[in-house]
Amino acid sequence: MEVDPMIKKPSVFRRIIMSLVNGYRRVMDVRYNPLKHIPDPSLQAYFMLVLFTVWSVFFGFLAANYLGFFNYNTVISIIVHVSILAPIAFTNAIFIDAERDGNGWLKEWKEEQSRYNIVVNRLKVKNLKIWNPNREE
């Protein structure tokens, strides 16, 4: 089965970026994770900070125990985690800003991915063809 030539497949770069953004939001954005049910934003931020610290320490202890890092330092572990998460959060902030300000590029990427996924999923069904009135069969 073929995909309609009018529907172009999103580039690998766009698919990777959008999957990273969606994955990040499922965990770190209170609009998508279960903390959205807490009405106070300051409490949401507090719980996110607590969870961040707990997971940083937890993974640090795992690394110290299983990988043999006997000079493990909790403060350095938290600093390393922040240095990894800061660019991800910065990228997410740019994406949110682009959505809020009405810049069309992110919306275009999402629509392109959605259109492609719809066509690909429909083509998985047997005996389904995309109708093209300009083509004789």
Q: What's residue 137's pLDDT?
A: 59
Contacts 24+ apart (CB under 8 A), 109-115: 109/10, 109/14, 109/17, 109/18, 110/18, 112/8, 112/10, 112/14, 113/10, 113/14, 113/15, 113/18, 115/7
Look up the pTM and report it: 0.45
Assess if residue 2 is contained within a domain.
Answer: no
Task: State the pLDDT confidence band at 88, using cuts at 50, 70 and 90.
Answer: confident
Please count the structural domains in the chain.
Answer: 1
pLDDT at position 76 over 70: yes
Integer Cα distance of 79 and 56 in angstroms: 9
pLDDT at 123: 65
Place of tokens 């300000």: 101
| Positive or negative: CA dihedral 6, 12, 13, 15 | positive
- Which residue segment(s) compose the domain that 97 sits in? 12-123
Mean pLDDT, residues 77-86:
78
Number of H helices, E strands in the chain: 4, 0
44 CB-near residues (< 8 Å, 6+ apart): 30, 35, 36, 38
Rounded to an integer, the average pLDDT of 4-9 is 73
Residue 63 lies in a domain: yes
In a domain, 134, yes or no: no
For residue 40, tell me if it sits in a domain. yes
